[in-house]
Amino acid sequence: MISGRRIKVLVVDDSAIVRKILTDTLSEEKDLEVVGTAPDPYVARDKIVALAPDVITLDIEMPRMDGLTFLKRLMHHHPIPVIVISSIAQPSCQAALDALRWGAVEVMAKPGGPYSVGELRLTLANKIRAAAAARVRRASAEPPPPPPRPALPRLAQALRTNSQESKVVIAIGASTGGTEAIQQVLMHMPGDGPGIVITQHIPPVFSLAFANRLNQICPMEVKEAVDGDQVLAGRALIAPGNFHMVLRKAGAGYRVAIKDGPMVCYQRPSVDVMFASVAEVAQASAIGVLLTGMGSDGAQGMLRMKRAGAGTIAQDEASCVVFGMPKEAIKTGVVDVVAPLDGIAALITRAVAEARP
């Protein structure tokens, strides 16, 4: 709840069926209230003025005005936490990722196809609560286009050519607001840096589009992980949506395993699952990083990493969209450094350099 009252939600989608599914799902929650629905952005605009919602769910593909155009105008003139609920078709998937750049706090897959109404019910209410607590900022100008991917440094190219296993593993976990936070960290990591494994709470298909986008703009290679992928210097692996990713020892290096399994902290992929595996196999040769997100996923895993001798970093409150996951880890007393987002890549790089013989 917000200051003792229910969180007010406006549902914007051109499909009457989807509007009903979302409304019925949220009506089961005592702390949430759907105050209205809208079939397109023009109706939504009037209802925002009349109903003052705390959170908006927004479709991308709509008549008269598409959701991304509406979001740009909304975040410029009247910023409100927005959750994009989009189809997993490729054009919509790309537009949903653009929406995150424009200030949407979360992206979810529409019910139907591989994503069932039951799965939506498990996660939607918590996403709404996270969005209501999120910091949203007014969009004042067009976000700058991503720079071209830098030329691969010679050392990183040599490492990849020789299939050099990464000796140090960086494990990063994030949720609400995490796609932009992860991008900022990876953009400032050297192309020949240690191997990175990443768990971001994100639906299937969107995780692939997210990895592909980062691969185009980051110095490191970035890819959605597949079972058996090597953790290499100069490579970042992102857990696929709806699957856990764990680290496994493989000779002198590491590989990842992709597996099904129950949700942990209401999440799959789960940061706790990944962190626990890193603690087990990499032990002191690892750094755990916990970024913005609601809930407690990652706190217990980071505790296990710290007990195994790993270094630990948490994003500070001021730079988080939602200071939930980092806060829970900090409360356990196992975080070595609490840092603003724009300083985390430098912290990792310095720690790795100092750890080398």
Quick check: do 7-132 and 154-355 share a fold?
Answer: yes
Task: For the chain, report the end-to-end CA distance as a whole number of angstroms.
Answer: 52
Set 59, 201, 207, 319: catalytic member:
201
Active site residue 201: yes
pLDDT digits (tens, 9 = 90+) for 229-257: 999 999 999 999 999 999 999 988 999 99
Radius of gyration of the chain (CA): 20
> In this predicted structure, what is the pLDDT of residue 123?
84
> In this predicted structure, what is the pLDDT of residue 354?
76
Set 87, 92, 166, 175: catalytic member:
175
Task: Please list the residues that pair with 286 across neighbouring strands.
Answer: 169
**Three-state SS letters, the chain:** CECCECEEEEEECCCHHHHHHHHHHHHCCCCEEEEEEECCHHHHHHHHHHHCCCEEEECCCCCCCCHHHHHHHHHHHCCCCEEEEECCCHHHHHHHHHHHHCCCCEEEECCECCECHHHHHHHHHHHHHHHHCCCCCCCCCCCCCCCCCCCCCHHHHHHHHCCCECCCEEEEEECCCHHHHHHHHHHCCCCCCCEEEEEECCCCCHHHHHHHHHHHHCCCEEEECCCCCECECCEEEECCCCCEEEEEEECCEEEEEEECCCCECCECCCHHHHHHHHHHHCCCCEEEEECCECCCCCHHHHHHHHHCCCEEEEECHHHCCCECHHHHHHHCCCCCEEECHHHHHHHHHHHHHHHCC
Q: What is the largest CA-CA distance in the chain?
A: 64
User: What residue type is 235 in one-letter code?
Assistant: R
User: What residue type is 279 in one-letter code?
Assistant: A
Category of 245 on φ-ψ map: left (φ > 0), alpha (ψ -120 to 50) or beta? beta
User: Count of CB atoms within 10 A of residue 70's CB?
Assistant: 24
> In this predicted structure, what is the pLDDT of residue 312?
95
> In this predicted structure, what is the pLDDT of residue 93?
79
Helix axes 90-101, 206-217, angle to 10 degrees: 60
> In this predicted structure, what is the pLDDT of residue 35?
96
**Residue whose structure tokens are 């990713």:** 245
Active site residue 192: no
User: Count of CB atoms within 10 A of residue 149's CB?
Assistant: 16
Q: Locate the domains of the chain by residue range.
A: 7-132, 154-355
Rounded distance between C-alpha atoms, residue 162 and residue 344, angstroms: 29
Fold entry, domain 154-355: Rossmann fold (3.40.50)
> In this predicted structure, what is the pLDDT of residue 205?
83
Set 296, 297, 316, 319: catalytic member:
297
> In this predicted structure, what is the pLDDT of residue 319?
95
Active site residue 272: no
> In this predicted structure, what is the pLDDT of residue 90?
61
Burial class (CB in 10 A: 0-12, 13-18, 19+), 265: buried
> In this predicted structure, what is the pLDDT of residue 272?
98
- What is the total residue count of the chain? 357
Segments of the chain scoring below 70 in pLDDT = 1, 3, 88-92, 112-119, 139-166, 355-357
- Determine how β-strand 32-38 pairs with β-strand 235-238: unpaired
Burial class (CB in 10 A: 0-12, 13-18, 19+), 141: exposed
Phi and psi at 245, nearest 5°, equal -120, 130
**pTM for this one?**
0.86
Class in CATH terms, 7-132: alpha beta
